[in-house]
Chains A and B, each alone.
Chain A
Amino acid sequence: MPILILADHDNVTLKPATAHAVTAASKLGSDIHLLVAGRNAAPAAEQAAKLAGVAKVLLADDAAYEHALAEPVAALLVSLASGYSHVLAAATSVGKNVLPRVAALLDVAMISDTTAVVSADIFERPIYAGNAIATVQSSDPVKVVTVRTTAFEAAAATNSAPVESVAAVADPALSSFVSVELSKSERPELTSARIVISGGRGMQSGDNFHLLEAIADKLGAAVGASRAAVDAGFVPNDYQVGQTGKIVAPELYVAVGISGAIQHLAGMKDSKVIVAINKDEEAPIFQVADYGLVADLFKAVPELQQAL
């Protein structure tokens, strides 16, 4: 039986996370169908059709799906699920919101945040903030799985799969969209950036984050933060890298004034190269850093900006 993936998009653009979910699905060895549920979402569907390994794109175009509300999108997925062995989504805020609802409606267990596909019914997933890796096996008729995007490469955009329309199903009408407030940033998105520079409590204030922003702009990097910095109100919550924030695995991760609590390490320790700048040489962040610089960040960071 084929595999169904819920695409993450904003009707105009397909989110890069979806391409990673396609790669995870390709390890399962069946046809992959990608569901684009949205309103006037043909542009997103066209991009979805380009992903290598996708046999078919299903486009459900209806006002109810415009904002990817969990209730109508889950109802749609459930109506389609009987023809599929797996229902997948990237573990983004959409996938994490919708898929557990789908699993419960299908009366099956769910596997969150898988990091490796062992076989069609066996998956690895991190538990305890990544301090242990559980290998779990599902015997349910439909496997409902979210995919940790950093654990799988993005599928290439080399395909031209057919796009097929599917009918909308009745909207349960339990929720309605009110508004959205997206952080405006010229910088790349945290989870897909090639370089991430993050600040922690050591930054001392939100204003001081401009030191990191200056470097980010030079390197084309995204800016992140530890939970401590978010808790202290230095930066908004969507900057947070860690167990309960964003999981990132860029080519280069620069941790500035971050001590390295396990909850933070859980969100970045799979980065290719890690740099830590901290004045406390005992800080646990140095245990995972490829390059550690014991220094006062207020001296080192401006120096780094000059040197780049």
Chain B
Amino acid sequence: MKILVPVKRVVDYNVKVRVKADGSGVETANVKMSMNPFDEIAVEEAVRCKEAGTATEIVVVSVGPTQAQETLRTALAMGADRAILVQTDVTTEPLAVAKLLKALVEKEAPGMVILGKQAIDDDCNQTGQMLAALLGWGQGTFASKVVAGEGKVAVTREIDGGLETVELKLPAVVTADLRLNEPRYASLPNIMKAKKKPLETVMPDALGVDVTPRLTTVKVAEPAKRQAGIKVPDVATLVDKLKNEARVI
């Protein structure tokens, strides 16, 4: 089975983002960028499937600017076989990304698509579900365990209050949650090898998809700041403050 893994280039999770003075967005110039952490987990899961013999080929896809090639090379260094960049400078919304991915899925015919449950920049948590909808496939979101079988896959999902296991017909879309696995670091030899792996670039037009955003961003602002509090010297003072000042216990 071929596995397709979409990955997104995002502002690194350690960066404290700053809102632009004109309120048009957040500052992304000269900021460290990385692969979305949940997508790293998705790549790792696909590589493990290949190592276990359930996957034969891993194709990674990114939708974004030229620099997203770096993200794809990281995925190739982790063990993916080849990469496709859908090149666009537009800030694509999940619906447009899902449409682009659908067009690629129709070309590549993977048995499964695995991607991160959420990108840590727009925090949308939509793309996997939307892709499954457009393809008419089943979806296993927020996966903490994936067991592929003959023509089906069992996905254990992180739900409010516990875990739920569902069985999906293949092909299907799976979105990775935090505890699915711990992604590996690419070794230096693998990073060198990744440079020679095939990376193809296509334009959204060639896939017949209009990526124009549907939502208008009116403004982006800083969140309301919390007033700094006080330090208390000991537990007794803390309990007293909670009882008599904050009145919450």
Task: Give every chain B residue within 8 A of A206 (Cβ-Cβ).
Answer: none
Chain A CB within 8 A of B130 CB: yes
Most buried by B among A15, A102, A289: A289
Chain A CB within 8 A of B189 CB: no
Cβ proximity bits A124-167 to B, threshold 8 Å, 1 near / 0 not? 01111111111111111000000000000000000000000000
Chain B CB within 8 A of A195 CB: yes
- Verify A127–B121 contact, CB threshold 8 A: yes
Task: Give every chain B residue within 8 A of A259 (Cβ-Cβ).
Answer: none
A292 to B234, CA, bound (A): 10
When C-beta atoms are compared, the residue in chain A nearest to B171 turns out to be A174
- Verify A132–B17 contact, CB threshold 8 A: yes
Chain A CB within 8 A of B138 CB: yes
Known A-B contacts A174-B168, A293-B234; the reply to A273 vs B242 at CB < 8 A is: yes
Closest chain-A Cβ to B212's Cβ sits at a distance in Å of 11
- Verify A133–B242 contact, CB threshold 8 A: no
- Verify B142–A97 contact, CB threshold 8 A: yes
Chain B CB within 8 A of A65 CB: no
- Verify A292–B231 contact, CB threshold 8 A: yes
Chain A CB within 8 A of B122 CB: yes
B58-66, B103-111, B153-161: which one contacts chain A? B153-161
- Verify A122–B158 contact, CB threshold 8 A: no
Cβ proximity bits A82-116 to B, threshold 8 Å, 1 near / 0 not? 00000000001110111111111101111111000
Closest chain-A Cβ to B151's Cβ sits at a distance in Å of 12
When C-beta atoms are compared, the residue in chain A nearest to B228 turns out to be A287
Closest chain-B Cβ to A144's Cβ sits at a distance in Å of 10
- Verify B239–A138 contact, CB threshold 8 A: no
- Verify A136–B126 contact, CB threshold 8 A: no
Known A-B contacts A140-B214, A273-B246, A307-B236; the reply to A174 vs B94 at CB < 8 A is: no
Known A-B contacts A71-B138, A179-B164, A275-B242; the reply to A128 vs B17 at CB < 8 A is: yes
- Verify A134–B162 contact, CB threshold 8 A: no
- Verify A174–B123 contact, CB threshold 8 A: no
Chain A CB within 8 A of B133 CB: yes
- Verify B214–A238 contact, CB threshold 8 A: no
Chain A CB within 8 A of B71 CB: no
- Verify B164–A177 contact, CB threshold 8 A: yes
Task: Give every chain A residue within 8 A of B241 (Cβ-Cβ).
Answer: 291
How many B residues are at the interface, by size bracket? 35 or more
Chain B CB within 8 A of A219 CB: yes
Task: Give every chain A residue within 8 A of B122 (Cβ-Cβ).
Answer: 127
- Verify A175–B13 contact, CB threshold 8 A: no
- Verify A237–B229 contact, CB threshold 8 A: no
Known A-B contacts A93-B159, A111-B215, A136-B218; the reply to A176 vs B229 at CB < 8 A is: no
- Verify B165–A180 contact, CB threshold 8 A: yes
- Verify B235–A307 contact, CB threshold 8 A: yes
A265-280 residues with Cβ-Cβ distance < 8 A to B are 269, 272-275
Cβ-defined partner of A133 (8 Å) among B130, B134, B223: B223
Task: Give every chain A residue within 8 A of B235 (Cβ-Cβ).
Answer: 293, 295, 300, 303-304, 307
A280 to B131, CA, bound (A): 45
Cβ proximity bits A31-71 to B, threshold 8 Å, 1 near / 0 not? 00000000000000000000000000000000000010111
- Verify A128–B11 contact, CB threshold 8 A: yes
- Verify A292–B13 contact, CB threshold 8 A: no
A173 to B136, CA, bound (A): 10
Task: Give every chain A residue within 8 A of B157 (Cβ-Cβ).
Answer: 93
Task: Give every chain A residue within 8 A of B124 (Cβ-Cβ).
Answer: 110, 112
29 interchain pairs, CB-CB under 8 A = A70-B132, A70-B139, A70-B141, A71-B138, A94-B160, A96-B142, A100-B130, A104-B95, A104-B129, A109-B95, A110-B94, A110-B126, A127-B122, A128-B17, A129-B123, A130-B223, A174-B137, A174-B169, A178-B166, A181-B163, A182-B161, A183-B161, A195-B248, A237-B144, A289-B229, A290-B229, A291-B242, A294-B231, A304-B238
Chain B residues with a Cβ under 8 A of chain A: 11, 13, 16-17, 19, 26, 38, 93-95, 98, 117-118, 120-134, 136-142, 144, 154, 157-169, 172, 177-179, 213-223, 226, 228-232, 234-236, 238-239, 241-242, 246, 248-249
Chain A residues with a Cβ under 8 A of chain B: 15, 67, 69-71, 74, 92-94, 96-105, 107-113, 122, 125-140, 172-183, 189, 191, 195, 219, 227, 230-231, 237-238, 240, 243-244, 246, 251-252, 262-263, 269, 272-275, 281, 286-295, 300, 303-304, 307-308
13 further A-B contacts with Cβ under 8 Å, apart from A69-B166, A132-B19, A291-B238, are A71-B138, A93-B159, A101-B133, A104-B131, A109-B215, A112-B125, A127-B122, A128-B121, A128-B123, A135-B220, A135-B221, A176-B166, A291-B241
